[in-house]
Amino acid sequence: MRIAYGSLVIEMNGLEALGGEFSRTLYSFATKRAKHVSVVAQYRGHQDCFDRQRPLSVEVDGASSTVRVDSPYWDAEFDLGTGRVCVRFGRLWAPAVDQFLKTVAQLYASRTCGAVLLHSAAIVIEGQAVLFTAPSGKGKSTLAKISAGAGYRILTEEMAFVGGLGLDEVPRVLSLPVRERNSLQVRERIDLPLGAIYSLQWSGDDRVAELPKSRQLPIVLGAICVGLRHPYVVRPVLALAAALVEKVPVRVLYFRQMPTFLKLVCSQLGLPAAVQETI
């Protein structure tokens, strides 16, 4: 799999997928398959088998300086002059690859697309995308399954690509831009206005809590899958998160894992009663 965004190239296991923009395949790999495949990194014409203790290098679009970004799982040096990223993973390589790919993806989404990747489930309600964010294992997939069972379209259970965050733009949930080389499959194009973001909390009842902006921003930042430990990463992400909070309501949804929450969400979106009655 060979994935490209701009001049970013990550080569994995001999499979090829070349995207003009960041890739659904990347996330699929990062989140589902990282434990089962090895990574081959391409670096200045050399190939180097990725091993637990060996660095993965990727090439990125150039800029003007070198920055170093680290996390509990990996540290990376972004040489923005030559467009090279060197990454060294620790022993927990599978989550490290996952987190690294997400961070790089976020970096590219924010710096080149003016978009953010939100760790969230996304469902479609009357032509609007609604995002539900929660830590892993805290209800996103359950909510997606319940919504699908109630006849709602699921855009993602894991990661939503949110653009339209410019001054005069309307936030939209978009397809993770991907194009696979040698594939005839046409992916469904997603481009829906973003109606609301809910932070999920398991509860004995269904209710929604409104939040002040000061509490909305941490929710959005928490859902953005990126290590926030370098200004180069933080600045665009914070700017986009702030734009998102300004434009889209962020609320807490107390959720008892029943379809009844959908009625509440419809009501919040101001949908007509007829729609709510169909739930």
- Looking at 193, 229, 258, 267, which residue binds another protein (CB under 8 A)? 229
- Looking at 35, 68, 181, 235, which residue binds another protein (CB under 8 A)? 235
Q: Please, which residue, 142 or 199, has the CB nearer to another protein?
A: 199
246 binds another protein (CB under 8 A): yes
- Looking at 63, 150, 154, 239, which residue binds another protein (CB under 8 A)? 239
- Looking at 90, 218, 249, 259, which residue binds another protein (CB under 8 A)? 218
44 CB burial (10 A radius; 0-12, 13-18, 19+): exposed
- The DSSP bridge partners found for residue 199 are 133, 252
Q: How far apart are the first and last CA of the chain?
A: 42
Distance CA 271, CA 165 (A): 24
- Looking at 214, 273, 274, 277, which residue binds another protein (CB under 8 A)? 214
Strand locations in the chain, DSSP E? 2-5, 8-11, 40-43, 46-49, 56-59, 66-70, 74-79, 84-89, 116-125, 128-133, 153-156, 159-163, 172-174, 191-202, 207-209, 250-255
By CB under 8 A, how many residues form the interface with another protein?
19
Residues 48/40, Cβ–Cβ less than 8 Å: yes
Task: State the minimum distance, in angstroms, from the CB of residue 236 to another protein.
Answer: 9
Q: Please, which residue, 71 or 257, has the CB nearer to another protein?
A: 71
- Taken in order 33, 35, 38, 44, the sign of the CA dihedral is positive
Task: State the minimum distance, in angstroms, from the CB of residue 3 to another protein.
Answer: 27
**Quick check: helix, strand or coil at residue 75?**
strand
131 binds another protein (CB under 8 A): no
Q: Please, which residue, 23 or 110, has the CB nearer to another protein?
A: 110
Secondary structure tally for the chain: helices H, strands E: 7, 16
Tokens 């995207």 sit on residue: 19
Region of 21-29, 74-82, 126-134, 226-234 interacting with another protein (CB under 8 A): 226-234
Task: State the minimum distance, in angstroms, from the CB of residue 144 to another protein.
Answer: 28
163 binds another protein (CB under 8 A): no
- Looking at 19, 163, 171, 227, which residue binds another protein (CB under 8 A)? 227
- Looking at 63, 150, 211, 242, which residue binds another protein (CB under 8 A)? 242
20 CB burial (10 A radius; 0-12, 13-18, 19+): exposed
Read off the tokens for 52.
Answer: 């637990």
Region of 28-36, 102-110, 135-143, 224-232 interacting with another protein (CB under 8 A): 224-232
Nearest to 164 by CA among 113, 92, 199, 117: 113
Which residues lie near another protein (CB under 8 A)?
A: 213-214, 217-218, 221, 227-231, 233-235, 238-239, 241-242, 245-246
